[in-house]
Amino acid sequence: MDEIKPLKLKPGIKRKIGKYWLLVPLFLVVLFAAWWKSDSGSPSVVSFVFGLGSTLKTDNGRVNILLLGIAGGNHEGPNLTDTIMVASADVKSHQTDLISLPRDLWVDEHKAKINTLYQIGLSRGSGLDLAKNEIGDMLGIKIPYAVRVDFNGFIKAVDLVGGLDVNIERSFDDYSYPVPGKENELCGYKEEERDVSEEEGETLGVEPGKLKVLMDPEGKIATAAAKPGAGFIFTDQQVFDLFPCRFEHLSFTNGKTQMDGSTALKFVRSRHGTNTEGTDFARSKRQQLVLQAFRENVLSLGTLSDLSKVTGLIKTLGASVESNIPVAQYPEFIKLVKGSQETKSFVLDTSGKDPLLVAPPTWQYGAWVLIPPDNDFAKIHQYISDIFSGKLSASESAGKKQ
């Protein structure tokens, strides 16, 4: 792999900045992030517009950017990456490729899944640096840039541009989408501690004695802890059955659909969809659909001509994103996004007769994970090379070569 080389732009770009400087934060929205920080320490508008002189780092003529989406805030696992995507733009052909990676991909060096890399990196000083370096190694490319956005910023950004028109490819329902803030709701049940008789214990399949029990609305024992001093242990299905108020029913129909920020987030996060939409690979494809719909909206004349939308996006993203990209390189990204013509999407998955990823027995890694066959990433490196060289057409998955 060649060393990263600077991309040199013609001096004439200085004269062409003009109205196009507003594209910079909008382009970063398209990449699920922004480089604008909070008011303290933010660059002035003058340096933002005229901060020329730096160069974009390229790898074999491409600008590679890691895109990460996290829950953030008070969500469970706030720093685990729910979205992992690499955007690669060819500076000559103006072709952009989006490559989604499954969050269950195993990283042997860290003995953890890929969705923990950002969190591990935070504990070592830089979540973005660790994530971009490790994911670059997995794909066989160099990734100099990385951005991440949280759910709150995503929702607000979509609403600020007036929502999205998303072309849903497959209808599906999800009857178990978690409602934020209701993760511990008992939905009419009550937790108590009481003496369970031998007869009751036999019926419930637990040891008799003083146990924690869950009482239903009619005052009957619905379930109990397995033994005295133990807590409740529920399977996913038991949680769905016992606590329906923790979940909502989602339904999406194929075709073009208008979505606000909350709806778009539900669309990309749904994990229990029918009609084969319950896999992480299907989620990755939906994330790409939303990203492309967002790009079309953000770069539309209606958005660009509305100053309140532009300034609102800057402020919103400033509170919800992190990036390692220097402000001085903004103008060069202007040229990159201005020349972008086509985007192709790919998802690394387990499909096909000769898949890129397989799921080994759970006992080998202590959990359900994905690895390349024989844990050898050479085939993935070749696949990425074939994408960048134009040998492959966009497809739903990595295993389907058109």
Q: Residue 122: its pLDDT value, please?
A: 87
Q: Taking the CA of residue 247 as centre, how many other CA atoms within 13 Å lie in the half-sphere pointing to its CB?
A: 19
Q: Residue 353: its pLDDT value, please?
A: 83
Residue 343's H or E segment, with its range, is strand 342-347
The answer to whether 350 and 102 are in contact (CB under 8 A) is no
- Least confident residue range of 167-176, 353-362, 392-401: 392-401
180-208 per-position pLDDT tens digit = 888 889 999 999 998 888 888 888 888 88
pLDDT, mean over the chain: 78
Q: Tell me the whole-structure pTM to 2 decimals.
A: 0.67
Residue 389 pLDDT > 70? yes
Pick the CATH number of 5-171+253-388 from 3.40.630.190, 3.40.140.80, 3.30.750.24, 2.160.10.10: 3.40.630.190
Q: Residue 101: its pLDDT value, please?
A: 92
Q: Residue 271: its pLDDT value, please?
A: 87
Residue 149 pLDDT > 60? yes
- Domain residue limits, the chain: 5-171+253-388, 190-242
Angle at CA of residue 150, ends 146 and 156, nearest 5°: 120
19-50 per-position pLDDT tens digit = 333 333 344 444 333 333 323 333 333 233 33
